[in-house]
Amino acid sequence: MSYATLRNEWADLLVRRPEFREPLAPYGTIFEAWAGWLGASIPPFGGNAEACRQRWAQGVPLLPDAPPAIPREAMEDLLAPVLEVLAAVGQEVEALQRFAEAWDQGAVDPSALFPGRGRLASIALQTETGLSQECLGFLAYASLRPVLEDYFTGCRPYVAVSDWDLGVCPLCGAPPAFADIAESGKRLLACHFCAAQWAFSRTTCPYCGSRDPREAVRLQAEAKEEGYIIAACTACNGYVKELDRRARFNAGSTLVEDWGSPHLDVMAHRKEYWRAVPTLIQLQDSE
C-alpha cells in the first residue's frame, strides 16, 4: 500500500470520527511527510526464504544482524516533521532540542533509532538526550516506518509461511502495536516500525507470554464500535488493541485504526494498563 493511500485512509477515518479531527490533527502532518517522501537509495534486505527461516528458527529477528545503512540525509524529511509534532504538543521540548542538535552535529546515527528486544531505540541515545522511552519510541517509529517498510519489502511474504511465534516482530524486532483478527479467526500482530504482520496465539500475552486465561482481560468498546477490543494481561498489565475484521469489514489499515481510536487507549490507561508502542494520546496522557 502506498503512503498516499494510507493518508487517504486517515482522511476517511476522520470523516467517520469527526470528534477526533482536532485532537488527532498532528498525525496528519506525519502522514503527509510519509506520502511525500521520495525514498532513499538503500539496498533492500538480501536474505532469501531459507536464510530467513534459519534466523527465525533461532528466535532471532532479521534486523539486528543485517541492518540497513541509512544515509542521514535520507531521514531528514521524515524526522523533522515528527520532531515538530512532538514539540507542538508540548512533549519534552528541551530534550527534543538536544536530540535535534546532536543530529545536526552528526552525533546521532539513524541506527540509534532501530528497535530492539524490549526497547524502541538505543539506551545510549535516551541517556544522551534525556528523552523518555515513550517519546523516543514514538519519534523512532514515526520517522523510520517508510524506510524499514521499503527495506523489508522483499522478505515480507516469507513471514506469512513462517513458524515465528514470538511476541516481537520477526523482521525488525519491535514489540507489537496492534492486532487484527482476520476473516479466518487468526490473530495477526502488527508492527508500526516496518508494517509487518505475523500470526500469534489468541490466548497468549505477546509481552510476557502468559497463557493463563485467568490473567487475560478483554475490555469491550461501546456497542456502536463493535469489533474493537482491548486485550490486556493482569500478569504484566500490558495491552494491545484488537480489531475483529469479521465485524468491521470496512476498517482501515492497522496503523490508521490504532491512531484513530484514542478513546480505547484512554480506557486502558484509566485501568492502569500500558502499551509498548506509544501513541501521541499516550504521551499527552502521561504529562
Residue 230: pLDDT above 60?
yes
Residue 30: pLDDT above 90?
yes
Residue 117: pLDDT above 80?
no
- What confidence tier does 282 reach under pLDDT thresholds 50, 70, 90? confident
- What confidence tier does 224 reach under pLDDT thresholds 50, 70, 90? low
The whole-number average pLDDT for the span 181-209 is: 95
What the block records as the C-alpha cell of 239 is 495491552
Report the range of poorest mean pLDDT among 105-109, 206-210, 226-230, 283-287. 283-287
Res 238: pLDDT: 97
Res 16: pLDDT: 87
Residue 248: pLDDT above 90?
no
Identify which has the larger pLDDT, 146 or 118. 146
Res 144: pLDDT: 96
The whole-number average pLDDT for the span 37-43 is: 83
Residue 222: pLDDT above 80?
no
Distance, CA of 14 to CA of 26 (rounded, Å): 12
Domains of the chain, CATH where assigned: 3-154 (no CATH), 163-285 (3.90.1670.10)
Query: Amino acid letter at 27?
Result: Y
pTM: 0.94
Cα angle for residues 170, 174, 175 (degrees, 5° grid): 100
- What confidence tier does 286 reach under pLDDT thresholds 50, 70, 90? low
- What confidence tier does 18 reach under pLDDT thresholds 50, 70, 90? very high
Q: Cell 498532528 appears where?
A: 26
Average pLDDT value over all residues in the chain: 92
Q: What is the pLDDT of residues 45-101, one digit of tens each?
A: 988 999 999 999 999 999 999 999 999 888 999 999 999 999 988 879 999 999 999
- What confidence tier does 177 reach under pLDDT thresholds 50, 70, 90? very high
Res 47: pLDDT: 85
Q: Among candidates 146, 186, 150, 152, which has minimal Cα distance to 169? A: 152
Half-sphere exposure for 131 (CA within 13 Å, toward CB): 32
- What confidence tier does 39 reach under pLDDT thresholds 50, 70, 90? confident
Distance, CA of 285 to CA of 158 (rounded, Å): 38
User: Per this entry, what is the length of the chain?
Assistant: 287
Torsion from C-alpha of 14, 17, 18, 21, nearest 10 degrees: -50
Q: Any idea what DSSP says for residue 147?
A: H
Cα angle for residues 166, 170, 171 (degrees, 5° grid): 160
Q: Any idea what DSSP says for residue 273?
A: -
Q: What percent of the chain has pLDDT over 90?
A: 80
Residue 285: pLDDT above 70?
no
